[in-house]
Amino acid sequence: MKIKDKFDFENKELQTVNRLTEYGKNFQLKEGVREMAAKRIINNTTKRKPKTKIAFIPSFATTIILLIAVLSVSVLVFPDVAVKYASALPIVRELAEKDDDVNELTGRLDDMQDQISEKESAILYLEAQLKELEIKIKEISKEEITEVITSDNTDEALNIQLQTLVVNFVKAMYRADYNEAAKFCTTSFAVEVKANPQYIIMRKDNAVVFTQITNIARTEDGVYLVFLRLNDSSDGEADYQIDFEIIEKDGKYFISFAGMNA
């Protein structure tokens, strides 16, 4: 080989090495990896004496094809490695962006799942409350009143009787007919009703609406309890409650106490 041809050949080899080095920089390889690759290529090209130019060119073409193939497979099989060493590639950037989108979507789905779980818990709680408090509308002393079941009392006839007793008592009080109201009370409580009717009712204009009543409950000492909610305000918004205690005497039932409640 002539000196000039040899010089041209080595110059082309150096240019090729430089292009590969720049190509490697575009993949953002670690410094140590770039140096190792460059040294290996230089050593291989300087030690080996190519027979012809034609034999050398396919060698570099094969190297580039293998390099591209390795990088392509690495991008698909090892995306984390690709992002670390070859983040400049469009396909790597696209994969990284999609990975961020997936992470964001996963986070949103987790938040939605937490919200759904909270709502499901609230619904289950409300369903349990409704099962415990059975509510129905019933007619008591010609009044449509919502009844709330708060006890396991099974004597519906007695339940109606005592509920009617307290409703009739309140109607008499709102008519300011305290003598009539006293007939539904024990002797001692009748005296209190006549002396202090303001402790039992809020107004005296006969404008009372019954909003809710409980079924009767019986205490261990034989006292029956009934809670009655009503409204006597002009705007129909301010409900209040009267707690009744009823006792049995000689086969009859009388109100022994009626107290205002919130």
Inside any domain, residue 189: yes
pTM attached to this predicted model: 0.50
Inside any domain, residue 116: no
SS3 217: strand
| Residues with Cβ within 8 Å of residue 151, at least 6 apart in sequence | 214, 215, 216, 217, 218
65 and 147 both lie in a single domain: no
70 and 145 both lie in a single domain: no
Under a CB-based contact definition with an 8 Å cutoff, are residues 51 and 58 in contact?
no
Give per-residue pLDDT as tens, 152-197: 888 999 999 999 999 999 999 988 899 999 999 999 999 999 998 8
DSSP per position, 83-123 = HHH-TTSHHHHHHHHHHHHHHHHHHHHHHHHHHHHHHHHHH
Inside any domain, residue 215: yes
222 and 160 both lie in a single domain: yes
Inside any domain, residue 110: no
Domain that holds residue 75: 3-99
What whole-number distance in Å separates Cα of residue 196 and Cα of residue 194?
6
Tokens of 246: 């009823």
Under a CB-based contact definition with an 8 Å cutoff, are residues 162 and 172 in contact?
no
Give per-residue pLDDT as tens, 116-146: 877 788 887 776 666 555 678 899 999 999 9
15 and 82 both lie in a single domain: yes
15 and 75 both lie in a single domain: yes
85 and 200 both lie in a single domain: no
Inside any domain, residue 109: no
Give per-residue pLDDT as tens, 212-251: 999 999 999 999 999 999 988 766 566 789 999 999 999 9
Give per-residue pLDDT as tens, 244-261: 999 999 999 999 999 888
| Residues with Cβ within 8 Å of residue 251, at least 6 apart in sequence | none
245 and 139 both lie in a single domain: yes
172 and 242 both lie in a single domain: yes
Give per-residue pLDDT as tens, 35-63: 665 566 566 555 555 554 444 455 555 65
Inside any domain, residue 127: no
149 and 93 both lie in a single domain: no
86 and 170 both lie in a single domain: no
Distances, alpha carbon 156 to alpha carbons 210, 215, 252, in Å: 20, 9, 17
Total of domains in the chain: 2
CATH of the domain at 225: 3.10.450.540
150 and 79 both lie in a single domain: no
227 and 160 both lie in a single domain: yes
